[in-house]
Amino acid sequence: MSDVKIKVCFLHPWIKSIEDVLKLLCIQDMPIAERFELDYENPDYVIATDYVTSSYRYMKQFKRLVGYQDDSGKNPIRIFWTEECVSPDFNIFDYSITWNWKLSYRDRAARIPPHIFIGSNMTERQNTLSYEDAVSLLRQGNLRFCNFFYSNPGHFKMKRDELFYALQGYKHVDSLGKYLNNVGGVVGDDNKITEPKQGLSRGGRYSWQEVSVRLKSNYKFTIAAENAQSDGYTSEKLLTSFLAHSVPIYWGNPYVAEEYNPEAFINCNDYDNFDNVVKRVKEIDEDDELWARMVSQPWQTEQQARKSEAEYESYKKFIMNIFTSPIEQAYRRTMGEWVYLYGLWYFEQRFIRNKKRSLIGEFIKSFLDTDTIDSIGKLLSMPRAIFNPHWRQAKQLKRYTLEDFLKEKNFS
């Protein structure tokens, strides 16, 4: 195997070292991993994330790295990576690594099985809890009913809220995070549930997952509701609940039971409404043997496990194809007039939007004005509630409009 270095940059706030890159790509055990090095000046491969589409800082960096509209001659391979429910734009990117297991585009798209992505940074990939151990947990009498652990209301999380309130009608649900908190404080604030300052390999991102598992392990049930519903999109919410040995009450991926054992969790997709979900939760909650059987089930059937391993092997071949091919043979995106014009729109529109969002964020942190909150909400199509935490942080009160602020920043 060649010893030529593979120069990559990874545009994501969690990345502090090359070890972090290898972890997010789940290739730390592959022989090719030792050839990777971080290069934020002249990389051969630019791995962009959903932060590029939402952050002025990362879009600006992306434009510079790919040599957009300059004479630098830069033309690195572009790879889109995300663990969020976002689809790739193949007019802009050569390859994608996303959540979508039905996305097929020759050799340009691949998916990491969720439990391998999460499990590569945790201690277990299979359920080690026996039925007898589960019964023993119940007999200790320390398990609370159910938890809800979220920090943000977001745009499209009404189903998550509906599920919370439906279960709350049966029995009290502890909301541990910043959102809908009802336990008198945010549980875990002292455990650094924040953006990791020291990188993934030093305990940032994955200490957060470990804290999540530890907190959920105090509960019989966990509300594991995604922030979006789409085929194949299963996040850490289901998996950290499994690891905590807390029965997940899952809402999200309609096909989740094809990848994970339906006997191991409550799948809201199987019920017409949340009232019927609550009836099922009540049935399990009142039957210790039923709960113990469910929480001790294997997280995947043997057939599901084999399918996931095959998907992971396919993913590793995908990685090898990208990073061992000569650069000039690794390009996949179309080169041509209309794609170039599309690129002009893509970069300029997103750059302008992200710059405006960045300035608005600065504005939010500095001013308090109800009318202006509404103006910002309308501009970004966001409800006022999303901005409230920022406004509470304001240190001074100044009364003038958003338009005045943007004009002051030479942006209109």
| pLDDT tens-digit map of 117-165 | 876 545 566 899 999 999 999 999 999 999 999 887 765 568 899 999 9
Specify the 3-state DSSP secondary structure of 223.
strand
Average pLDDT over residues 65-71: 68
Q: Which residue has the higher pLDDT, 68 or 49?
A: 49
Residues 8-29, mean pLDDT to the nearest whole number: 93
Instruction: Kindly tell me if the per-residue pLDDT of 40 is higher than 80.
Output: yes
- C-alpha to C-alpha distance for 240 and 190, rounded to whole angstroms: 19
Both 292 and 403 in one domain: the answer is no
**146 beta partners:** 221
In a domain, 395, yes or no: yes
Contact criterion met (CB below 8 Å) for 207 and 192: yes
Provide mean pLDDT across the span 188-210: 48
Residue 273, pLDDT score: 96
Q: What is the pLDDT of residue 207?
A: 61
Contact 375, 345 (CB under 8 A): no
DSSP state of 191: G
**What token pair was written down for 374?**
């509404």
Query: In terms of domains, do 292 and 327 share one?
Result: no
> Cβ atoms within 10 A of the Cβ of 103, count?
17
Q: How far apart are CA 148 and CA 164, in angstroms?
A: 7
Do the domain assignments include residue 404?
yes
The answer to whether residue 372 scores a pLDDT higher than 70 is no
Shared domain check, 18 and 89: yes
Could you tell me if 87 and 163 lie in one domain? Answer: no
Distance of alpha carbon 12 from alpha carbon 9, whole angstroms: 9
What is the rounded average pLDDT of the residues 180-206?
A: 53
Is the pLDDT at 203 greater than 50? The verdict is no
Q: Are 257 and 192 within one domain?
A: yes
Same domain, residue pair 243 and 388: no
Instruction: Please give the Cα distance from 211 to 264 (Å, whole number).
Output: 22
387 vs 180, more confident: 180
Tell me whether residue 343 is in a domain.
no
pLDDT at residue 412, rounded to an integer: 45
What is the pLDDT averaged over residues 212-228?
93
Domain count, the chain: 3
Q: Which of 18-27, 151-160, 305-314 has the lowest mean pLDDT?
A: 151-160
Q: pLDDT higher for 303 or 3?
A: 303
Same domain, 16 and 45: yes
What is the pLDDT, as a whole number, of residue 394? Answer: 37
DSSP structure class, residue 46:
E
| pLDDT level of residue 81 (50, 70, 90 thresholds) | very high
Beta-bridge partner residues of 77: 45
Q: Does residue 339 sit within a domain?
A: no
For residue 106, what are the domain limits? 6-113+309-333
Instruction: Tell me, yes or no, whether 315 and 398 share the same domain.
Output: no
Judge if 239 and 323 occupy the same domain.
no
Same domain, 186 and 244: yes
Q: Pick 370 or 229 by higher pLDDT.
A: 229
Q: State residue 299's pLDDT score.
A: 95
Lowest mean pLDDT among 70-74, 151-155, 268-272, 328-332: 70-74
Tell me the CATH number at 51: 3.40.50.11650
Percent of residues in the chain assigned helix, strand, coil, to nearest 5: 45, 10, 40
Cβ-based neighbour number of residue 169 at 10 Å = 11
342 lies in a domain? no
Whether residue 147 is found in the same domain as residue 263: yes
Q: Give 96's pLDDT tier (boundaries 50, 70, 90).
A: very high
| 99 and 139 fall within a common domain | no
Rounded to whole angstroms, the Cα distance separating 6 from 25 reads: 14
Domain membership flag for residue 121: no
pLDDT tops 90 at residue 205:
no
The percentage of the chain sitting over the pLDDT mark of 70, rounded to a whole number, equals 74
Structure-token pair, residue 375: 């103006």
Is 398 a residue whose pLDDT tops 80?
A: no
Asked, for residue 163, whether it belongs to a domain, the answer is yes
Residue 225 belongs to a domain with what CATH number? 3.40.50.11660
pTM score, two decimals?
A: 0.79
Residue 387 phi/psi, 5-degree rounding, is: -90, -15
Q: Can you count the helices (H) and strands (E) in the chain?
A: 17, 11
Long-range contacts, stretch 209-215, CB < 8 angstroms, 24+ apart:
209/118, 209/121, 209/122, 209/236, 209/240, 210/122, 212/149, 212/188, 212/236, 212/240, 212/244, 213/122, 213/240, 213/243, 213/244, 214/244, 215/147, 215/149, 215/176, 215/187, 215/188, 215/244
Q: Looking at the domain assignment, is residue 365 inside a domain? A: yes
Regarding predicted confidence, which is higher, 64 or 8? 8
Predicted pLDDT at 30: 94
Give pLDDT, residue 103.
82
Give the closest residue to 32 by CA, choosing from 65, 8, 62, 12. Answer: 8
The DSSP bridge pattern shows strands 266-267 and 109-110 to be unpaired
Buried b (16+ CB within 10 A) or exposed e, 266-299: bbbeeeeebeebbeebeebbeeeeebbbbbbbeb
pLDDT at residue number 376: 52
